[in-house]
Amino acid sequence: MRAVVLGLLLLTAGGVARAAKPYHLIPGAVPLDKSPDGNSIVLDAPKGLIVVDTGRYPEHSQKILDYAKARRRPIAAIVNSHWHMDHTTGNADIHAVYPNVEVYQSEAVDGALATFLANGRKGAEARLKDPKTPQNRIAEIERFLDRMEHPEKIRPTRPVTASGQMRIAGRPLDVHLAKFAATEGDVWLYDPATKVAIVGDLVVGIVPFMDTACPEGWASALKQIDATPFVTLIPGHGDPMTRADFRQWEIAYDNFVDCGHSTRPAKQCVDGWLHDAAKFIDAAHRDYVTQAADYYLKTRLRSSREEQQRYCKPLESS
């Protein structure tokens, strides 16, 4: 084990371990029996470590903390690509160990707390009382309800309100705010020094998670990503991508949305996604992807015009 850790780290003259790679990836997962967990990416900065997205489950958060301990560096900043719980739930775990950590995120979480997440809270409370709820979901539900009871745990301390270069924990990064895309405000990073783009759920390998999506704004965000000279792109879920991988995914996304807005048979649209995104879909998730693509087709792309536009404007409680 010690050899593995040393293989990932280098020691500077001052005895502080620095990463041998431009980023450290803690992979998320899309289990078939519970909710997904997003990728977490750790970057070095002069003041400590920057963590992009903190996952949903405590086991995931612990991996982030264990990495910081192995590096002997504090976590100085969190960047949440968006407010979905598989990217923000772990914020509180990080804050408990590093109470001075700054959290960079868009202000879209406020609208979500009053609408989407408020509805989710009602559903979670009902599931917690339901004796038919699987035992392996109870801890996840309780963790979600804790964040709803204490919303400050998922809110930013440094709201991202516009795109531009920022110094986060002393490290200069190009910070982009994509409005009305996968959510009302998606934050993605580009590091010119390493040519790495970290884009959250603007790219999800197996299938775009469109629960809170404005499809047209999302397509625009993908074009903005394509305009940067990245070499490596890290999605919100799935393996790192080359530029060729990303372009294939972007084609798959555009084709799926175009088909969804047409009168072509639903199966044709779903089969089109399975074909165009085939390299990102493993055999174990093929049925999951088929069902998810069909669900998003019906509930987002082929819903009423009012429903289609729900997430293309600020979320407001009724």
CA distance 49 to 23: 10
Name the residue ranges covered by the structural domains of the chain.
2-252
Would you state the structure tokens that stand for residue 48, as one six-digit string? 């400590």
pLDDT per position as a tens digit, 77-134:
999 999 999 999 999 999 999 999 999 999 999 999 999 999 999 999 999 999 999 9
Question: Which one-letter amino acid corresponds to residue 141?
Answer: I
Tens digits of pLDDT across the chain (318 residues)? 333 333 344 434 334 455 668 999 999 999 999 999 999 999 999 999 999 999 999 999 999 999 999 999 999 999 999 999 999 999 999 999 999 999 999 999 999 999 999 999 999 999 999 999 999 999 999 999 999 999 999 999 999 999 999 999 999 999 999 999 999 999 999 999 999 999 999 999 999 999 999 999 999 999 999 999 999 999 999 999 999 999 999 999 999 999 999 999 999 999 999 999 999 999 999 999 999 999 999 999 999 999 999 999 999 765
Chosen CATH of 2-252 out of 3.40.47.10, 3.40.720.10, 3.60.15.10, 3.40.50.10490: 3.60.15.10
Around Cβ 102, how many Cβ atoms within 10 Å?
17
pTM: 0.93
Around Cβ 315, how many Cβ atoms within 10 Å?
19
Bridge partners (DSSP) of residue 188 are 176
CA distance 44 to 21: 10
- Could you identify the residue written with the tokens 């074009």? 223
Radius of gyration of the chain (CA): 19
